[in-house]
Amino acid sequence: MVVRSFRFIDLEMPGEFANSWITPVSHFYVRNHVFQPAPVNGREWKLAVQGEVQRPLVLSLSDLARLNGHSVTNTLECAGNGRAFQNPKVAGIQWQRGAVGTARFSGPRLGQILERAGVKSTGKHVMFRGLDQAPGKVPPFIRSIPIEKALDPDTLLATHMNGAPLSDYHGFPARALVPGWVGAASVKWVSEIRVLEKEFDGNFMKPGYRLPNRPVQPGDVVNPEDTHALTTLSVKSIIAAPGEGARLNLSPVRICGAAWAGEADVRKVEISTDGGRSWALAMLGKDQEHYAWRLWSYDWMPKEAGEYVICSRASDDQGRVQPEIAVWNPSGYLYNAVDRVKVHVI
């Protein structure tokens, strides 16, 4: 893993691992905004469900295990993935391709828990508080999602990842799993679920994790009131192999990678081996689930030695196409320009 920050642990998956439909937990990126909590004792852990509900609840891990379980294979991507490629540069963790991974998350549906608590008609947003520790003036990582997404049958309070209890890095004993949405929505180490009348008012909802409502240029002042909270991921593909700067023999080359589209489904991936002048269809992998990435591959026979720019471009069933240039925004969120690697055929 590539260590992007030590103070609060941030680990990036090397891009070449985007060649496996399920990302092993050992290669799954880690994004922490504050100090990770000390390992939680699952027997002592309690979850409070309160706010705009008729019956506030306190649940243990064994209470969660008694609820019906559901599994969702989801591609989780940090909103800041690809920030390193933003031009002009923006501040923040300089993620390249690998703040993304796909895992099978399992646990009770959030909707089932909320149903037990009985959401009042005034309950419009659902807030999650984690057990992680914010030092000094760093604000706590608390976020909320609208009630409609909270009640979606695929939104979970996940206790398992790839068939095993969540690891400490990924939120043991329970995390929100908000499929198709930016990773920030999936709060880890949840200790409180609170139903609110309004979107949670805190740093990581505003000004954090928002996009301007209109195009902005570097240096423009953005009024937080003229922004909206990030929700679904963009359409995007990344090239897992060959890697940037690879030296290849003049023989067949398998170009491969992954493509995803948040709440939409990937329709096609196109590959260019001439820097984007001409495109051909890649083959999509057989593994397929609604919120999960599609692996793709393309067999290429370079005609002669030389330098080539390989590009990948995904399209989805909502008509979205990976753009040539990503929309610039001050935090470098949702970078999804056509992916490019330069290779040398010798």
Q: Identify which range of 105-113, 181-189, 232-240, 327-335 contacts ligand MTE by CB under 6 A.
A: 181-189
- How distant, in Å, are the alpha carbons of 36, 143, 286, 316 from that of 130? 10, 9, 36, 33
Q: Identify which range of 24-32, 144-152, 211-219, 246-254 contacts ligand MTE by CB under 6 A.
A: 24-32
Per CB under 6 A, 72 contacts ligand MTE: no
Tell me the closest approach of the beta carbon of residue 30 to ligand MTE, in angstroms.
4
Tell me the closest approach of the beta carbon of residue 235 to ligand MTE, in angstroms.
18
Q: Is residue 231 within 8 Å of 186, Cβ to Cβ?
A: no
Per CB under 6 A, 187 contacts ligand MTE: yes
Tell me the closest approach of the beta carbon of residue 40 to ligand MTE, in angstroms.
12
Peptide bond into 88 cis (omega under 30): yes
| Dihedral of alpha carbons 192, 195, 199, 202, sign | negative
Per CB under 6 A, 32 contacts ligand MTE: yes
Q: What is the dihedral of CA 270, 265, 28, 44, to 10 degrees?
A: 180
Tell me the closest approach of the beta carbon of residue 309 to ligand MTE, in angstroms.
29
Q: Single out the residue of 30, 47, 114, 238 in contact with ligand MTE (rule: CB under 6 A).
A: 30
Per CB under 6 A, 210 contacts ligand MTE: no
Tell me the closest approach of the beta carbon of residue 12 to ligand MTE, in angstroms.
10
> With respect to ligand MTE, which residue has the nearer C-beta, 9 or 327?
9
Beta bridge partners of residue 307, listed in sequence order: 344
Per CB under 6 A, 95 contacts ligand MTE: no
Per CB under 6 A, 82 contacts ligand MTE: no
Within 296-315, the residues that bind ligand MTE by CB under 6 A are none
Count of chain residues binding ligand MTE (CB under 6 A):
19
> With respect to ligand MTE, which residue has the nearer C-beta, 93 or 282?
93
Non-local CB neighbours of 191 within 8 Å, separated by 6+ positions: 45, 46, 47, 48, 129, 130, 131
Q: In whole angstroms, what is the distance from residue 68 CA to residue 65 CA? A: 8
Per CB under 6 A, 186 contacts ligand MTE: yes
Per CB under 6 A, 331 contacts ligand MTE: no
> With respect to ligand MTE, which residue has the nearer C-beta, 138 or 250?
138
Per CB under 6 A, 130 contacts ligand MTE: yes
Per CB under 6 A, 141 contacts ligand MTE: yes
Non-local CB neighbours of 222 within 8 Å, separated by 6+ positions: 212, 216, 330
Per CB under 6 A, 31 contacts ligand MTE: yes
Q: Of 128, 92, 323, which is closest to residue 207 (Cα–Cα)?
A: 92
Per CB under 6 A, 106 contacts ligand MTE: no
Per CB under 6 A, 184 contacts ligand MTE: yes
Within 153-172, the residues that bind ligand MTE by CB under 6 A are 170
Q: Single out the residue of 132, 154, 316, 339 in contact with ligand MTE (rule: CB under 6 A).
A: 132
Q: Identify which range of 58-66, 150-158, 178-186, 335-343 contacts ligand MTE by CB under 6 A.
A: 178-186
User: Could you list the residues that contact ligand MTE (CB under 6 A)?
Assistant: 28-34, 76, 78, 130, 132, 141, 170, 183-184, 186-189
